[in-house]
Amino acid sequence: MKDFEHYLADCVSWVEEGLHSYLSPAVKNVDKTLAEAMRYSVFQGGKRIRPMLVHASCLAAGGDLQTVLPVACAIEMIHSYSLIHDDLPAMDDDDMRRCNPSCHKKFSEAVAILAGDALQTLAFEILATTPGLSVEQRLVQITTLAKAAGWQGMVSGQSIDIAATENIAATTQILEMMHIKKTGALILASLTMGAYAANASDDLVNLLQQYGRITGLAFQVQDDIMDAISDSHTLGKKPGSDKKNGKATYVSVMGLEQAKGYLADLLKQSAEILESVKKETQPLQGLIHFLGKRIN
């Protein structure tokens, strides 16, 4: 586990070096307040799991990490934008994010919306202009991220989430459909885009995608459990917000112990998939142990 935590810390340093270059205060022709809100949200902290998955899939495919760094930065900007918008009163209505005021509480709702919009569009600008990738690779990267973040992916998942309140009889099937889109789509894209940037074989991409689909779902099950059992310091926001807001979760639908059992089963499936990957997969194996350890 310590090896994985060290690896994760190295990935944080790796991607934040790239993020600082794109979001430097020296960038001209940008409104000062908007730029400050963007940097505030991106550099609040976070585990940088999605960039780590880009890094890990690139390693598994034997690719160049500097070439794939812009891809990792673009994905993290999309993730940051989604958190800004998720925290808004019209969405999940969270005042805290990573132990700090949410973007709309630190600035204003209007500035938060614009900061999210700006991060989203900047992500695609980065992918379109990445010098280390061919034109064909850039097109694949843009298409993959657009589908994962858009109306067929993350945005669709958020829409289903808004509807899945106490007034709707949510089922595990509805939850799975929602989270495969809301959380899983970007995790799957991270693995896919890292592998594609490294010119991975179709067989390796397929195995990484299988791993990503299951692990992405595991992320959300774990998140639901953590919201039910953790404190503010661990979560970085007030615990129990899902229950307070009437959100349908794996804990509310299945019960806490059954949700824990479901998470353990998903992580076992992820580990079994990695056994078929005859490449460097230690970071991906470490992530499985990391997800399981947090709820024990």
pLDDT tens-digit map of 140-167: 999 999 999 999 999 999 988 887 765 5
Q: What pLDDT is attached to residue 54?
A: 98
Residue 225 near residue 260, CB atoms below 8 Å: yes
Greatest pairwise CA separation for the chain in angstroms: 53
Distance, CA of 171 to CA of 249 (rounded, Å) = 9
Check pLDDT > 60 for residue 237.
no
Rounded distance between C-alpha atoms, residue 212 and residue 263, angstroms: 14
Identify the pLDDT of residue 239.
Answer: 58
> pLDDT value at position 124?
98
The CA–CA distances, whole Å, from 273 to 170, 189, 194, 290 equal 29, 17, 18, 17
pLDDT at 278: 78
What value does the mean pLDDT take over residues 2-28?
Answer: 93
How many Å apart are CA 191 and CA 55, to the nearest integer? 8
Give the pLDDT score at 295: 62
- The mean pLDDT of 167-176, rounded to a whole number, is 74
235 pLDDT more than 80: no
